[in-house]
């Protein structure tokens, strides 16, 4: 994969910025740095980086607020660095627009791999004419809304199609229960987990070879679901 033109690191700790810079030096031609949320937002607006690495523990603003502002400014992937492990926090960040999260202390190799994966997804997202995608023998055609396995069409309900299409369109990114609920039902009330649990079970019965060990629609415990399109 070609290097990104630029990546922006937003972190108030110089040693962390240095570690991230070293981890990503083979991923981007230019790596910018900011020590506060305000500096980071200004740099993002001016430089339009292809990827942002955002630390949550900033001195001037909450990391989740910076994440929301970055998402308003950019379509670029956002990877969050966090020393915390709460599932609620991961859900909050994904709902705020983050694409991935890495827990401190992090592996240099893992961070670089996650950055490359996010850049690859961003560069292949939203083609002019979406091509059919094959996942573990299942073919999903977003244009004809047809789902096939081994040449046999699988009939999905409109809700099941919307769930599968939403997950596949995310390109392997984990979506929270709320994000899927909003995309499929466009409602402000109801229990996303309760709604999804029933429909995901029914969907898996139709598309998975072994619904008890799903390989296409993967559960991220406490967070949401993702489609395994980036194997």
- Kindly list the strands in the beta sheet with 146-149, ordered across the sheet, starting from the edge strand earlier in the chain: 133-135, 138-141, 146-149, 152-154
SS3 label, residue 103: strand
The predicted structure's pLDDT at residue 45: 85
The predicted structure's pLDDT at residue 189: 64
Rounded CA-CA distance 40/80 in Å is 13
Instruction: Report DSSP letters for 187-217, one per residue.
Output: -SSS-HHHHHHHHHHHHHHHH-SSTTS-SSE
The predicted structure's pLDDT at residue 154: 93
Rounded CA-CA distance 136/215 in Å is 7
Question: Which among 204, 223, 222 is positioned nearest to 214, based on CA atoms?
Answer: 204
pTM of the model: 0.65
Rounded CA-CA distance 120/117 in Å is 5
The predicted structure's pLDDT at residue 194: 80
Chunked into runs of 10 residues, the chain (231 residues) has average pLDDT values of 87 92 92 92 89 91 88 88 77 84 86 90 69 90 88 90 90 86 73 85 94 94 86 50
The predicted structure's pLDDT at residue 193: 81
The two three-digit tokens of residue 199, written as one number: 């429909």
């Amino acid at each position: 994969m070609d290097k990104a033109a630029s990546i922006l690191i937003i972190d108030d700790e110089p040693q962390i910025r240095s570690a991230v810079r070293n981890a990503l030096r083979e991923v981007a031609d230019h790596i910018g740095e900011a020590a506060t949320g305000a500096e980071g937002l200004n740099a993002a607006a001016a430089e339009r980086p292809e990827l942002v690495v955002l630390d949550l523990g900033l001195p001037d603003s909450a990391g989740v607020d910076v994440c929301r502002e970055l998402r308003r400014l950019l379509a670029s992937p956002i990877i969050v660095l966090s020393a915390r492990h709460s599932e609620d926090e991961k859900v909050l960040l994904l709902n705020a627009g983050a694409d991935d999260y890495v827990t401190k202390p992090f592996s240099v190799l893992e961070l670089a791999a996650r950055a490359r994966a996010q850049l690859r997804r961003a560069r292949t997202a939203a083609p002019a004419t979406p091509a059919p995608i094959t996942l573990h023998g299942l073919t999903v055609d977003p244009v004809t809304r047809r789902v096939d396995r081994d040449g046999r069409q699988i009939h999905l309900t409109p809700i099941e199609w919307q769930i599968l299409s939403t997950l596949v369109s995310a390109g392997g990114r984990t979506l929270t229960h709320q994000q899927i609920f909003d995309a499929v039902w466009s409602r402000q009330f109801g229990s996303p987990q309760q709604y999804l649990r029933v429909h995901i079970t029914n969907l898996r019965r139709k598309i998975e070879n072994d619904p008890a060990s799903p390989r296409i629609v993967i559960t991220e415990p406490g967070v949401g679901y993702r489609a395994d399109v980036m194997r």
